[in-house]
Amino acid sequence: MHDESRRIEERVQRLHDQRIKTAVYAATVPLEVEAWQAPGEPVPFEEAAAASYEPFTMGTPWGPPWGTTWFRMRGQVPAEWAGRRVEAVIDLGFTGDWPGNQAEALVHLTDGTPLKAVNPLNQYVAIADPAQGGESVDYLVEAASNPDILADNFSKTTPLGDKLTAGDKPLYTFRSADIAILDEQVWHLDLDVQVLRELMLELGEHDPRRHEIAHALDRAMDLLDLDDVSGSAPAVREALKPVLSRPAHASAHTISGVGHAHIDSAWLWPIRETKRKTSRTFSNVTSLADEYDDFIFACSQAQQYEWVRDHYPKVWSRIQESVKNGQWAPVGGMWVESDGNLPGGEAVARQFVHGKRFFIEHFGLETKGVWLPDSFGYNAAYPQIAKLAGNEWFLTQKISWNQTNKFPHHTFWWEGIDGTRIFTHFPPVDTYNARFSGEEMSRAVRNYSEKGGASRSLAPFGWGDGGGGPTREIMERARRLADLEGSAKVVVEHPDEFFAKAREEYPDAPVWVGELYLELHRATYTSQARTKQGNRRSEHLLREAELWATTAALHAPGYSYPYEKLDRLWKTVLLHQFHDILPGSSIAWVHREAEAEYARVARELHALTAEAVAALGAGEPRVFNTSPYDRAEVVRSADGTPVFVRVPASGSAPLADTAPPQPVTVDGRVLDNGLVRVEVAEDGTLSSVFDLRAGREVLAEPGNLLRLHTDLPNYWDAWDIDKHYKNRYTDLLDASSVTVVEQDPLVGAIRVERSFGKGSTITQTISVRAGSPRIDIETDIDWHETEKILKAAFPVDIRAPHSSAEIQFGHVQRPTHTNTSWESARFEVSGHRWVHLAEPGYGVAVINDSTYGHDVSRTVRDDGGTTTTVRLSLVRAPRIPDPEADQGRHRFTYALLPGASIEDAVAEGYALNLPLRVADAAGAPEPVVSTEGEGITVEAVKLADDTSGDVVVRLYESRGGRATGTLRTGFPLAGAQITDLLERPLEDAETTDGAVAVALRPFQILTLRLRRG
């Protein structure tokens, strides 16, 4: 037989694209359209309904950036269309190939009932099926003219990312608004041909099935009447039935399709627009559920549900009904799909607490899995946190984006730092916006790493980010692919069902131990530094407010614990941990609002803490220590005078001088407190840090070396640091002044000032305090660079085989060598409050109060010694998507801690992030709890969320070893229970003499519920 493949393929493509697809709508009549431009921000439906509308002509430009235009559309179904399926079809002037980052609209009835959204790939609104003829159409359509921020494929900066700079030039040209007949036979033929053609093109050239499909399509096209596509469509479909009905091979891979609409809670649009995106998409989803009984939609992020509940109650009611019907599956159990690296341990716990409680309260069901398809890597504490929140499985997609190494598994057990394992799946389709194309189906099978061990994978399908979610076309594709020879099989089902089947099929799946590091988007540890600082400080202020509010509730008669305020503030912080806000990858508008929100949160939390402390009664100035460790350090009184105090963990002490071990001396540029001697060079670097206790020099080269690198990644500016950034740099060695600014027996400080680049300045105050080996470097940057990254280096004279970096509820160790491509790819990593380097007998920690990104490297010197260098990433200057990212003022502190063990690093990390608070108070109430036993670290102290008055304490083992000891209470203890994260009892805790016995495995998290006597 002659090879006619090319002729057939080209014929089928042209007939499909130019004749079949264009005949899907058999007839149209235009709707009458009027318009009203809402001034400023979006308005409620009632205001829009009462507005004065003006005639609007198709082909007219509309929609300023971030504007809202309301359209009134009226018409009548022609009488002769009786018996046909009739729809409104609206094209707002959609552009580009991304359905979720441009114009979109929500169609309402005149009584305010939302019907359905209009999106680029979902333009219809059902009117009648079948029509009676004569039906009236009267819609109010809220259309959002959101700009396409990435229209130039990341090649250009744009002012469109903030309404303050976006201008008012219309973005879109309205194309059409019609009443139309959907020709169902042609529509189904369109899908038949699409599915078969795509399958054919994915099959091998020597696969008989490919040629069978090709010739069947060729014969079917002979039956297509080009002058009467509608009339001939049934015959063409009948001719294709034999190739569409051939069953899949018995060993065919099974893909569990789950309807999905990944909606970023903010990204290239502000939070206010996400509230509308969710309502539009959820309207589509509930409408699709009415059409397809076998449709199932998985939806995460309790915050988005709450927005719809509060702003779109009619859509909310439809969601509740879909959940009852089993077609809507709440998943994820988190308040938002947060970043996987940057939120603190307690914040990750609260993501689950608030998320799971929302679903339990409003739907009467508990989610079973963690749904995080798009976060930029996942910390190694996740398995334990997820399991303690009652989860059984974990899903993500993002690791498929790795720049260097292909992750070896798709279905596996993920083991965290404490040994907890959770069943995990990466969909091999490599997208969370699947549409069941032939290419996607082939890719899923080709990619799947577990061939021979397992035979099923999951595919989330639907258009995300405001693209409207799953469509009827995707559902029809799934039906055709349910059992089709040459293809994987598709079954639409709940993700819980998929995970149950996958685990049953593959119980001995391979194990991955430790973090799931994404070899991409490494700059998200640093970009938008003020947003990250706001998060870090909010987390610690929340801890402080909860501790002292609990103390006041226990000891101050009449004090009322601020449950509702704390709940609201926690939810605000959790929202801003979303994986495009906290990582710094959103538009300017998002980060401008985030900074304002963090400032408001800080004001409220400072006020709550002040109220709690004041409730303890007026008295003499006292020092309050929120840290879980005893502290002996310098604090400043109201007039700025330094005072050396000793304060118990989670307790208070009088603001009164106690004798420091040794005073601080300042001799020229040398600071000495008997523990460390620090020499500051003329260029402002640390020329020497000598540990007087150990009798050794800490630095191998000058420390606190500030290095300015050129930083232009290959593609994703705000997201990425590519390895070539290291090749071009300038060391900042020209200090304009090096001045002693404090010379006191308790504090010695030297200020270093620098100017550089495009008018940027850095002022650093290097301080040594009595009684502490910690060297603080308070930093004030006025930053005006572009496409640069600033790092601070500490080259220490230690041969460290690995670095240890704090993560949630523990720490991870990462090799300092680059033996393999996996280690080499970790050239920028994340950590929380500290990084620790050690060789046997000696260690050094670098502490920070708001930075996350860093790198660690080592070299061997000519003398045979090893230099291990920690470099903190301080600030970047990407230009896309926010052209002014990080410009302006930054204030933060980092510190060097010589002679530090891991436990020292933990304690000083808390100390730097939880400054001692000075306030007037009467007496000294006992700490709510205190611990005995090394490695037992209290992370949170609060009252139980059920308002019972029970005290809840979350603690963990922080050194990486076993810990035994006791937890004592500052109140009469009637009983204690071990609970899950949601404060539900798991078992009774052992108590003896009013104390709780504690025994922890390495990095174990323990939540105790303490009943008051």
Angle at the Cα of 389 from the Cα atoms of 263 and 321, rounded to 5 degrees: 50
- Do β-strands 67-76 and 172-173 pair in parallel, antiparallel, or remain unpaired? unpaired
Question: Could you say which of 148, 374, 430, 496 is catalytic?
Answer: 374
As to burial, measured by CB atoms within 10 angstroms (0-12 exposed, 13-18 middle, 19+ buried), residue 509 is buried
CB 24 within 8 A of CB 183: yes
> Which residue, 911, 941, 961, is CA-closest to 1009?
941
| Look-up of token digits 């809220």 | 142
Backbone angles phi, psi at 338, to 5 degrees: -80, 165
Rg of the chain, C-alpha, whole Å? 31
DSSP 569: H
> Which residue, 791, 790, 845, 834, is CA-closest to 811?
834
Distances in whole angstroms, Cα of residue 335 to Cα of each of 79, 427, 479: 50, 23, 33
Angle at the Cα of 877 from the Cα atoms of 780 and 171, rounded to 5 degrees: 130
d(CA 469, CA 611): 47
**What is the DSSP code string of 174-218?**
--EEEEEEE-HHHHHHHHHHHHHHHHHHHS-TT-HHHHHHHHHHH
CB 355 within 8 A of CB 299: no
d(CA 755, CA 441): 56
Tokens coding 13: 């493509």
Label residue 465 left, alpha or beta by phi (over 0 means left) and psi (-120 to 50 means alpha): left
CB atoms closer than 10 angstroms to residue 443: 17
CB atoms closer than 10 angstroms to residue 644: 22
CB 647 within 8 A of CB 634: no
Tokens coding 133: 């003829």
Distances in whole angstroms, Cα of residue 348 to Cα of each of 239, 266, 342: 56, 19, 9
Q: Is 903 helix (H, G, I), strand (E, B) or coil?
A: helix
Q: Is 374 a catalytic residue?
A: yes
d(CA 832, CA 138): 56
Backbone angles phi, psi at 592, to 5 degrees: -60, -45
Q: Is 55 helix (H, G, I), strand (E, B) or coil?
A: strand
| Look-up of token digits 């959820």 | 282
Q: Is 657 helix (H, G, I), strand (E, B) or coil?
A: coil
CB 257 within 8 A of CB 493: yes
Residues known to be catalytic: 374
